Structure 1
């Protein structure tokens, strides 16, 4: 077994463990979660459906990347209702949280990616540190979203229905920003 020098040990100690959790009914958010995990260098074994979220998994990760699709009148995907309860009962004060979501800006332009906003509202007083939460709204076509906080999306908003040609670039830019802060 090779010996590690002090610098390599410090780099290993500094690496933060990242878990990606998604809520997906049609598979779109699941696919996006995997794309984000791949760009972040996160193993498939650290990518979970939100219905698997529990207190032990929250403790295991330093960084929680949380994704949801938006349903109905701007609601979270169903798997997140219990997941939010788990997160709100956990100590997130030492955790970093990054949010992403998908929506349909054409058919649901008045609730575009509201799921991101719901997660943000539920967790904003948890003591966590948000990462990737200043995503500009330029280049998006929508009329309203509670995911817009202080003039920017509180996470990465994606539209696979109408703007799938922009997804890869948006994921690249967002994950590069996340990696620079982790």
Structure 2
């Protein structure tokens, strides 16, 4: 059986940490080792029918990358390499990081910017998450009262991270496994 591809962009290493925690929860039997998008090829990315993508938040809902002020290559540069392939047939779940107290007016908004790219390329997006338990003024990542993916605030709500990851993994795992089982 094919595995779930796991890819992330990171600026400080926190998104990498969260991706590794999620990988341990899912297990190596169904998930590939998380890889930084600044170290992969388009071919490596496209080989998966089910993916989990992680992103930090950067700027005012920008896609993290050099043009947004990141110090290293990130999603912005990977998306330039990716171009605009037809991703219909791919199922993607996403998680994003944010700081609800420090950036309350744009909390985790980069998640939506990345979500919009992959949805626009035809991918089936899964894994929305409730806004309950968060305190913020605005997030572009909220559609119909729910985040478009799991949101982690490691800075002020790190005590909830493990449980949120477990609960979200329980939600998306069957959807992603179903996709890779159909592709086999």
Q: Which residue of 2 aligns with 1:26?
A: 12
SS of the residue aligned with 2:15? Answer: helix
Regions of 4+ moved over 4 Å: none
Higher RCO, 1 or 2 (CA under 8 Å, sep at least 6)? 2
Of 167-176 and 65-74, more deviation after overlay is shown by 65-74
Counterpart check, 1:103 vs 2:98 = yes
TM-score calculated relative to the size of structure 2: 0.84
The equivalent of 1:118 in structure 2 is 113
Write the distance in 2 (CA, Å) between the matches of 1:91 and 1:26.
Answer: 31
Deviations 1:49-95 (A, max 9, x none): 11124221123212121111112222232200022234452331111
TM-score by length of 1: 0.85
Higher Cα Rg: structure 1 or 2? 1
Is the 8 Å Cα contact of residues 73 and 111 (structure 1) preserved in structure 2? yes
Q: Match for residue 173 of structure 1?
A: 167
- Indicate the residue corresponding to 2:148 in structure 1: 154
Cα distance in 2 for partners of 1:153, 1:87 equals 25
Cross-structure match for 2:3: 17
CA distance, structure 2, for counterparts of residue 166 and residue 35 of structure 1: 13
**How large is the RMSD of aligned CA atoms in angstroms?**
1.7
Structure 1 residues 138, 80: CA separation in 2 closer, same or farther (over 3 Å shift)? same
Q: Considering fraction of residues, name the structure with more strand.
A: 1
Aligned partners of 1:159 and 1:32: how far apart in 2?
11
Q: Is the 8 A contact 1:58 1:90 kept in 2?
A: no
Gap runs ≥5 in structure 2 = 66-73, 177-184
